[in-house]
Structures are given as structure tokens and as C-alpha cells.
A and B are shown apart, each in its own frame.
Chain A
Amino acid sequence: MLPDRVLSFDRLLGSALLAVALLAVLILADSYLLRLLAIAGCYAILAIGYQRIFGELGVLSLAQGAFFAIGGYVTAILGLRWQLDGLMLLSAAIAAAALVSVLVAPPMLKLASHYFALASLAVAQLVLLAAVNLEELTGGANGLSSLAPVQIAGFAIDQGKPLTLAIWLLAACCAVAFWLPGPLALLRRHVLREAPLVGEAIGLGTVRWRISAFAFSAACAGLAGGLYVQATGVVAPDIAELAVMINVLAMSVIGGRGRVSGALIGAVLLAFLPEALRFLGGWQLFAWGAAMLLMLLLAPGGIAGLLESLLARRETPVPTVQSSEPRDNGGTLQIEGLSKRFGGVIALADVSLAIGEREIVGIIGPNGAGKTTLLNLLSGFQQADSGTMMWRGVDLAGQPAHRRAPLGIGRSFQTDQLPGDVTVMDAIAAASPERFRLDAARRQAMGAVQRLGLTEFAATALQDLSPATRRLVDLARALAAAPSLLLLDEPTSGLSAAERDTLLRVLRQLREDGLSLLLIEHDVGFLLALADRLLCLDQGRVIAQGPPQDLAARTGLRRFFGRWAVS
């Protein structure tokens, strides 16, 4: 994925489609076609919202249809009872849907993905039950009808041309709101979707990003529901049925995931195809499901993705010059009495350790000694049972994983976690401290790329690289955030002798540049050549620590050093 290419083509195609739709609204006189176009516009707004949570973040929400229904019912009920102004009605629809989403999101979005999908399905079923059974409020199975045309500042916006125009203008507003965060945010959402651990490690708060995406999608759905009810003049429980949700999913998958243009294509197909497919009779929804399945199997980017691969420019952007890396140097880490248990198993017991500025500390020990647990506690993926970790005078215990990168703590992963379909440059750019501009983030990334000798691979997708090279990319990714303390998990595993030497040079240079390093490593020779100090861990306890050569000479530690033991 090249985020700038995806986004620029989406902006182009999406704008063109919006322009065509607006033009069609102005030209068309046929009231039936206008009505279909109005409905297509409502679907488009509904689907644009869904692209953020499902398309970009890959979170399967099954409540988008429910938010649509909430918007619809709120508009209808307030409109019938109090004849509110149209802007008030639509604002109420948006606010109600967004409010419900923000209320249910925090407990749900923390859960693993299928929990979330099913929990959102439960929300949808609740809304459906309410629509059918709260007859006083919703009119029950018959719904509510004879809604008056919406009034804005005293002027009635009639169904037909005026309302349809308003709907498509609002769809354009939603598209602009969708495009606003730009390609760097798109890239980061992609990383968060494909590699959530890396996302946390580079400072993206998964839950916060998900909640804002969920609220955006719900707000769009609420607006769409309000407009849909205005366009059709009735509201009935069928807008809360699962079929609406299936349609939203189908629009996104068939039109093209994560793209405004995909939402627009899906919406127009959904509104106009039933006419063309009338001969299918009751089998239309069946065909819709089959089309969705085929798209998933054959063209995961949907129709918009197909058009993009046919039409968009192909050359990859050439990485530009490196910029000097801002670095606020130095920091000391002070660990006291750190303990962690998993059930009955003691992973770490009373571990104390200090790392000074420009110091490299290596951890050695057999499998299950607690090495990775220590790294996970430091990077916030697990919480300690007791003990303190003070970094630059801040207790890390209160800081979630995604806050630790901004504090200057970076980490690399033992196993390959990076998404395969982004380029080396972009995988690293996602981690840069740059907030908004992709080109600036890429320039910063190139600094880390050059440092690790990866320049020739800058524009290569990660999936086309050898595992060893990907490990170097992961290190560069950690460096891109300009950390002061770097946690490395088995950095040499899988590297060739030459790559190992490069890595040794790079890590020494990092120390010269003012970084502190804590690394887990099985290659004792590598540590003897690099580390200032070693820590021997066994069964969660510190057996010894000190200068490498001293420890290697101790007879009691021979099992840690093997052939490197000095006897």
C-alpha cells in the first residue's frame, strides 16, 4: 500500500463521482430518478462513515445499521412531536448516534476483534427490538409516517430536487471530512490494522484511534438515517434490520474498502442495481452476498481498487534527502524490585537494574528466564505485579504502551510484526514523530534507512524482503521515533555474519550518538563485543550482573557463556 497513491487516486475519483452526482441532481427532472439519487446519497454518507472504522481500521462493527436507524427515528420522532428546524433535527440525529457509539465503545473496543463484532451485533439487535416493541415511541411494526418536509430557517426543503441536492452536498462534506487527516494518518491506520503491536510501539493509542473512528462512523450513519427518513417520508423497523447492515458491508467491500470512492460506487450500485436486477426477484440479496464473496476472493480493493490499479500512476515516489534527526539525548532507567507472575508461574522475581546514559546492557539466560517479560513490562505490553520502573524521573507503570514511544523508549520485536504490503520507507515513516505530513515523515525515515544501509530497499514492499532485512527495517522503525532508550529483542537472530557485523557497528554508533540500549541476545559473542554490562537471568531472578569479561570468567556462570566462558 502506498498511502499517498491510494489517497490521491481516491480524492480524484471520489471528487469526480461527487461532481457527476451533483450535476445529475441539477439536470435530472424525473422525480423517480431523483428519489433514487436521494437514497443513493444517504447510502453514500452511511458508507463513507463506515469506511473509517471498517475500511481503514479493519474493525468489523455490525452496529452501523443501528446508528442509521437511531438517526432515522430521532429525526422522525422529534419532527413529528415538535416540528423542529431541519438543522436541529439533523444535528440531533448525528448527536444521538454519536453519543450511543461513544457510550458503548470503551468497553467494546478494548476487546479482541470477534468480541467487538458480536457485541456490536448485540447493540444492533437491541435497537431493532426497541424499534419494534416500544410502540408508544416508534409506532411499532407500522412505524411513523406523514412526516412534514424539513424546514430550514422557515423554508421548506421539498423532497425532490432541493432535498436531493442538500443530501449530496452533505455527502461531499463527509467526503472532505474523511480525506482531511491525510496520507500519514491513513498509513498509521493501516499499520494499526495490520500490525496492532507495532502500532502501540510507535505511539498510536489503539483504543483512542478506534473510538474516534467509531464515533465518526456513527455520526455519519446518524446523519444518513435522518436524511433517509426525510427522503422517504416514513420510518419503520426495517431500517433497523440486519439487512441494512449487510448492505453497508457490501457497499464497502464491493465498492472498495477504506475509500470514499468505494463508498460512492457501492451506494450508487445499491440504489440503482435493484432496478436493473428486477428479473432476479427475491434472489437479489442472494446475488448481493455472492458478489461480496467474489470481491473478497478476487479483488480485495473492490471496484475502486481495480480502477486504481488500472489508472493510477505506477512509479513509486523517490525518497528524498535525509533531514537531521532531532534528539533530546540521554536518560537513565532505574528498575527496582520488579516482579511478574502468570498464574502460578513466576516470570520475574524482584529484578533490579539500572541503565545509564550511553550504556549498553545485555540480558542473557535460558528460555523461560523472563527476558522477554522484562522487555514487555518496559514497553507496556504487560503490567508488573510489583516494583517500579523510573525513566527520566517518570514512573512507567502509569504509562500505557503507546505513551512510551513519545517518552523516548523504543523497541524492536523478536518476530516479524510489520505489515507486508507497505514499503520500507513507509513502514519507518509511520513511526516518525512527524504528526501530519507524509513527505516530512518520509524524509525523517530516510535518515534511519541510510543509517542501517537499507537505502536500496527504500521503495520495496516488506513482503519482498528477506527475514533478516525485515529485522533491520524493524530496528530502523524503532530508531525513526528518535528514542533515547532502545529495547531490542534478539536483534541478531537470523542475520548472516556480514549483517551481524553491520548491526554491531550500527549499535556502537548509536551509543556514540547518546542512546542507551537494553538487548536480549542469545549470541554471547555479540554481547561480549558490544555490551558494557551483562545481566544473567534465570527463572526470573538476577543471578549476576557486571562487566561481560568479569562474568565470563566466573566459574559459577559457565552455563550462561558456553564456549565463551573464560576458564
Chain B
Amino acid sequence: MAELIAQLALNTLALAAAYALVALGFVLVINAVGAVNFAHGDLVVAGGFIAVLLGQWFDLPGVVLAPAVLLLAGTLGLILSLLAYFPLRRGPPVGIYVSTIAVGVMLQNALLNIFGAAPRRGPSLVEAAPLRLGEIALSTQAIATIVAAGVLVLGLHLLLQRTQFGRRLRATAQDPLMAESVGIDTRLTIALSFIVAAALAGAAGLLLTPLHFVSPHDGAALILKAYVATVIGGWGRLHGALLGALIVAGSEVIGATLLSQPAAEALLYIVLLAMLWLKPDGLFGEAAGRRA
């Protein structure tokens, strides 16, 4: 029993760690450009398939492949911003929603044609035996997932708080015109935020594949989970997104154990709608209306 509970808790944390990366990238773009990147879920899936492919080619553990996945997914983010964001940045945000949906459709169908619809498993993060704590055996996969995500979140935190890029990003998010007038190249800043967001999405894909598999159709569910985590955690806060991801993963693992997987998913969406109705500011408050 103790082992089951420990393992369940560990799995929840691992899933939450991956979701947190998805949610952080999602929020990063919203804060930088004031519009949702609807291809974000598909970028996570793409990251998963990049990991699957690299795993097949090189037969290396996921941790070693991670830099390559980050780089390739980041490149996808750059391409996305060039195709779907910059040409339309002067128009209303809905244009960007639709253009990112279009790119997401292209990405999803490219993956579908190359890999097929069946869920695929990516390379394990590490090759190691389960960790034994007395009676209890713990999955090293889950532990590695948590550690890897923790490293990335810490890296993001330092990037946003300690570097020039972070300061520029925050200035651009607050007031693009003002940022431009003090000499910030807002286009470069925005392109970089797309790259970082996509790299985080790719990393999340890499972390998700060994335990949860990926299939090309997962994008919509992933972006919704990121959104639920963000709505629960509030916009623009690192710890909010982390807590939101934990709640989403917890309800998914516990709901799937007690009820069924579809029932858990449905419950998540119902909670989302109820929250938007009753408490649209997030649990920690910030006016929903002010983010256009």
C-alpha cells in the first residue's frame, strides 16, 4: 500500500512537472505578444516525436538527447513566429489565433503522415534500476522527469529575472511601444520568447513520451491542460503555473484511478468552465478582462 501511494504521488509529480513546462511556455508567449499561440499543444507533440525519432536513430537515453530536442523544438518556434505571428502582429489578436491554428494543423498532419495515428513511446530518460528506499521501489524515470523539469524551470526563472533578455521581455510585455522607444528590439525579444516557449514545449514532449506516449492528436488536450493550469494558477506567475500544473496532474491521476480516464478529463473541463464562470481571475486573482 505504502509503495502504491508513493509511486502514485511520484507519478503525479512527474506528470505535473511536464505540464508545468507546457503551461510556462504557453504563458510566456501570451505575456510577450498578448495573443494565444494555438499551436502550442502541437509543439509539445512535435517535441515528443522528435524524441521518438532521435531515440530510434541514436539509441541514447532521453537526458542526453535533451539539448538536441530543445534546439529543434526552438527552431520550430522560430518558424512558427515567422509564419504566423510577425506578418499579422499589427492586426487584431484573433488573426494570430487563427494563423497559429493553421500552423498547428500543418504540424499535426505532417506528424500524422510521417508517424501514423498510433501512440508512440519515446526513449527512456535514464537507464537505471528503480531506486529502493527500504521496502519501497521508486521509478527512476519519474524522478529523472521531475529533476529535468526542475532544472528547466530554474533555468527559465534565471533567464527571466537575471538576464537582459528577461528584463526586455518584461518591458515588451508591459508596453511594447514604450519598450521600442527606449531602444529594445521588440521583434527580437518576441522571436526569442517564441523560441524559448517552443523549446519548453519540446522538453515537455520529451518528458511525456516515455511514460505517457504521444500521438499526433494530443495537441488540443495538451493546450487545454496548460490553459486550465494557467487559469487556476493565474497569469504571469511562475509559482502559479507550477501549482496549477500540480492540480491538473493530480486530478488526472487520482480521477483516472478512482473513476476512468475520460471521466477525469471531462471533470477537468467542467471545472474549467465553472471556474471561468465563478472566479475568472484565477485562484490568486488578476482581472481576466484586462488581458485582451
Binding site for B on A (CB under 8 A): 58-60, 104, 107-108, 110-115, 117-119, 121-123, 125-126, 129-130, 132-133, 193-194, 242, 246, 249-250, 253, 281-283, 285-286, 288-290, 292-293, 296-297, 300
Which residues from A are CB-within-8-Å of B36?
Answer: 114, 117-118
Whether B113 lies near A122 (C-beta < 8 A) is no
In Å, the complex CA distance between A128 and B289 comes to: 29
User: Which of the residues B35, B87, B289 comes within 8 Å of A111, measured between beta carbons?
Assistant: B289
User: Which of the residues A110, A133, A193 comes within 8 Å of B262, measured between beta carbons?
Assistant: A133
Which residues from B are CB-within-8-Å of A129?
Answer: 262, 265-266, 269
Known A125-B221, A297-B99; 17 more pairs at CB < 8 Å: A60-B98, A107-B273, A108-B276, A112-B288, A113-B93, A115-B276, A117-B36, A119-B276, A122-B273, A193-B92, A194-B92, A242-B217, A246-B101, A253-B102, A282-B113, A286-B109, A296-B99
Which residues from A are CB-within-8-Å of B217?
Answer: 242
Chain B contact surface mostly: helix
Q: Shortest distance in angstroms between A333's beta carbon and chain B's nearest beta carbon?
A: 27
Is residue B19 within 8 Å, beta carbon to beta carbon, of the partner chain? no
Most B C-beta atoms less than 10 A away, residue of A114, A129, A130: A114
Q: Shortest distance in angstroms between A41's beta carbon and chain B's nearest beta carbon?
A: 24
Which residues from A are CB-within-8-Å of B30?
Answer: 114
Question: A298 — nearest CB in chain B belongs to which residue?
Answer: B87
Whether B288 lies near A289 (C-beta < 8 A) is no
Binding site for A on B (CB under 8 A): 30, 35-36, 38, 83-84, 87-88, 91-95, 97-99, 101-106, 109-110, 112-113, 217, 220-221, 223-224, 227, 231, 262-263, 265-266, 269-270, 272-273, 276-277, 280, 288-292
Kindly count the residue-residue contacts between A and B in the assembled complex, taking CB atoms under 8 Å apart. 127
Which residues from B are CB-within-8-Å of A60?
Answer: 94, 97-98
In Å, the complex CA distance between A126 and B113 comes to: 27
With A129-B262, A290-B106 already in contact, the answer to whether A113 and B269 are too (CB < 8 A) is no
Most A C-beta atoms less than 10 A away, residue of B87, B109, B291: B109
Q: Shortest distance in angstroms between B181's beta carbon and chain A's nearest beta carbon?
A: 16
Q: Shortest distance in angstroms between A405's beta carbon and chain B's nearest beta carbon?
A: 20
Which residues from A are CB-within-8-Å of B276?
Answer: 107-108, 111, 115, 119
In Å, the complex CA distance between A117 and B35 comes to: 11
In Å, the complex CA distance between A115 and B282 comes to: 12
Which residues from A are CB-within-8-Å of B269?
Answer: 122-123, 125-126, 129
Q: Shortest distance in angstroms between B52's beta carbon and chain A's nearest beta carbon?
A: 19
Q: Shortest distance in angstroms between A70's beta carbon and chain B's nearest beta carbon?
A: 16
With A58-B94, A112-B291, A286-B113 already in contact, the answer to whether A293 and B270 are too (CB < 8 A) is no
Q: Shortest distance in angstroms between B246's beta carbon and chain A's nearest beta carbon?
A: 20
In Å, the complex CA distance between A468 and B207 comes to: 55
Whether A113 lies near B99 (C-beta < 8 A) is no
Question: A107 — nearest CB in chain B belongs to which residue?
Answer: B277
Whether A122 lies near B98 (C-beta < 8 A) is no
With A125-B221, A129-B265 already in contact, the answer to whether A296 and B109 are too (CB < 8 A) is no
In Å, the complex CA distance between A121 and B219 comes to: 12
In Å, the complex CA distance between A60 and B35 comes to: 12
In Å, the complex CA distance between A283 and B111 comes to: 10
Q: Shortest distance in angstroms between A113's beta carbon and chain B's nearest beta carbon?
A: 6
Which residues from A are CB-within-8-Å of B91?
Answer: 300
Which residues from A are CB-within-8-Å of B289?
Answer: 110-112
In Å, the complex CA distance between A258 and B30 comes to: 27
Whether B109 lies near A121 (C-beta < 8 A) is no
With A286-B109, A286-B110 already in contact, the answer to whether A292 and B98 are too (CB < 8 A) is yes
In Å, the complex CA distance between A493 and B110 comes to: 53
Which residues from A are CB-within-8-Å of B291?
Answer: 112, 114
